[in-house]
């Protein structure tokens, strides 16, 4: 019996799915891939061409918190995919609640009161970088978040587990740093804490030292002295008098991270504090899988020749967040019948801390319908967590997946990377990785799962956000 080559098998299977031809025009609307490509490797891998980002000015190596490349190691059992999605939905819920509360307070300040402890966003904490703090410097692995403003790390003294949670790196000891200095209660920076954290400032009367409080919706918290010290992002990127929270009392679901870098738009964020050096420009590329170490976080301008920019908007109710003008969605080269006003109110934010992109329900239903129609040749699998459109590819070798494109203002089209289209539980349960909002008044959120492998550039000086393809390589 004659045997068929893999190429012939591919051509035959393609013809069965597209009996009228699969020319260059139609091919640009689909991903054609092996199912094994969807399954991340268990070992740390380096994508070809990714190392050119390392050891450069303003560039930090970025890793997935729970992946095999993570500097946090593997202590204990990592959360399941279901638990990660549950935490992600908690973050989304807290973001929506905070936005609505602030909106109503601005709408009628005489009759509406902001809750006393609305709380900072629940952090999904997906991606980590390593920084240096103090003189001599201590290396600390922290998460970064565009939805947060305050920078903080755990600090000594920690009398016991009730005051500090276990972390991978040695806990920062300010007494061993010659450049550490507490911020006084009378400092202007102390007065900025309320807008950065959403909580009232406290003064330690015995030392006249400003005290910060960052309380999260899941009851996690970090509290301590507001201080200054020397921050080293790289050996050549050193900042004196960097303001941060030095937490003597910390508790919650933070894992083994040392703290947090806030990349929001508030005056206390890392972006604002390093504005003279970097011009309020930063970018990142999130690696394609949790097993890849090809990601980076970069501060300052760089090569943006292949980047297309969309206007960055500001919402007066939530001035720290990054708002974009989302206009529509295309599937398989066809723009869906979605009224652009669907995304206009209350708006769309891009957020590094939210995993799954959240859409207005009418937009999600249109996306789901078009995607299911294009995938009608494949066997559907049971729903999983947030997802109601899942497929069983366990009997497939090659699959053909329709491309999904998000349309933004400024004529910017973002082709969602293939691994951002699916959330993979296994070969027998690959789910469309989008979710619909439960309320018509909810924000649309462009999550990090759909940003993977993109070069995402935030240019606050020019009020724009850009997207480029193959950012990690």
- Please give the positions annotated as active site: 145, 351
CA pair distance 409, 466, nearest whole angstrom: 11
Report the relative pairing of strands 444-446 and 348-350 from DSSP bridges. Answer: parallel
Burial of 414 per CB tally in 10 Å (0-12, 13-18, 19+): buried
Other CB atoms within 10 Å distance of the CB of residue 111: 8
Report the relative pairing of strands 434-436 and 357-359 from DSSP bridges. Answer: parallel
Which residue reads 């249109």 in tokens? 366
CA-based nearest residue to 212, from 275, 158, 149, 139: 149
Other CB atoms within 10 Å distance of the CB of residue 260: 27
**What single string gives the DSSP state of each residue in 417-448?**
-HHHHEEEEETTEEEE-EEE-SSTTSPEEE-S
CA pair distance 414, 468, nearest whole angstrom: 8
**295 near 61, Cβ under 8 Å?**
yes
Burial of 213 per CB tally in 10 Å (0-12, 13-18, 19+): buried
Cα–Cα distances (Å) from 440 to 32, 73, 167, 324, 370, in that order, read 35, 41, 40, 18, 21
CA-based nearest residue to 456, from 265, 283, 270: 283
């Amino acid at each position: 019996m004659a045997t068929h080559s893999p190429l012939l098998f591919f051509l035959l299977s393609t013809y069965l799915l597209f009996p009228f031809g699969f020319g260059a025009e139609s091919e640009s609307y689909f991903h054609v891939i092996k199912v094994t490509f969807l399954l991340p490797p268990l070992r740390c891998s380096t994508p070809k061409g990714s190392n050119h980002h390392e050891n450069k000015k303003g560039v930090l190596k970025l890793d997935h918190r729970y992946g095999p490349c993570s500097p946090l190691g593997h202590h204990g059992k990592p959360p399941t995919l279901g638990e990660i999605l549950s935490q992600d939905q908690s973050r989304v819920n807290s973001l929506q609640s905070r936005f609505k509360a602030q909106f109503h307070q601005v709408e009628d300040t005489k009759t509406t009161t902001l809750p006393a402890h609305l709380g900072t966003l629940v952090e999904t904490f997906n991606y980590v970088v390593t920084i240096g703090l103090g003189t001599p410097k201590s290396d600390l692995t922290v998460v970064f978040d565009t939805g947060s403003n305050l920078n903080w790390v755990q600090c000594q003294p920690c009398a016991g587990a009730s005051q500090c949670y276990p972390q991978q790196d040695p806990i920062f000891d300010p007494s061993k740093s010659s450049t550490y200095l507490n911020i006084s209660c009378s400092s202007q920076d102390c007065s900025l804490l309320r807008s950065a954290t959403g909580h009232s400032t406290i003064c330690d009367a015995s030392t006249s030292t400003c005290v910060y409080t960052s309380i999260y919706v899941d009851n996690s918290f970090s509290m301590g002295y507001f201080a200054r010290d020397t921050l080293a992002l790289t050996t050549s990127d050193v900042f004196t008098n960097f303001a941060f929270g030095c937490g003597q009392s910390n508790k919650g679901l933070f894992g083994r991270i040392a703290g947090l870098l806030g990349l929001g738009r508030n005056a206390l964020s890392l972006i604002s504090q390093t504005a003279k050096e970097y011009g309020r420009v930063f970018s990142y590329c999130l690696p394609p899988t949790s097993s890849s170490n090809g990601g980076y976080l970069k501060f300052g301008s760089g090569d943006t020749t292949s980047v297309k920019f969309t206007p960055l908007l500001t919402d007066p109710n939530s001035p720290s967040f990054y708002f974009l003008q989302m206009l529509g969605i295309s599937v398989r080269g066809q723009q869906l019948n979605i009224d652009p006003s669907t995304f206009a109110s209350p708006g769309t934010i891009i957020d590094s801390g939210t995993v799954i992109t959240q859409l207005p329900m009418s937009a999600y239903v249109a996306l789901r319908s078009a995607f299911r129609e294009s995938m009608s040749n494949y066997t559907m699998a049971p729903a999983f967590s947030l997802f109601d459109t899942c497929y069983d590819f366990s009997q497939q070798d090659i699959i053909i997946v329709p491309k999904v494109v998000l349309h933004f203002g400024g004529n910017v089209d973002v082709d969602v990377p293939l691994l951002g289209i699916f959330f993979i539980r296994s070969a027998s349960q690959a789910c469309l990785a989008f979710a619909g909002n439960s309320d018509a008044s909810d924000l649309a959120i462009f999550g990090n799962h759909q940003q993977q492998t993109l070069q995402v550039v935030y240019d606050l000086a020019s009020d724009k956000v850009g997207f480029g393809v193959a950012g990690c390589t």
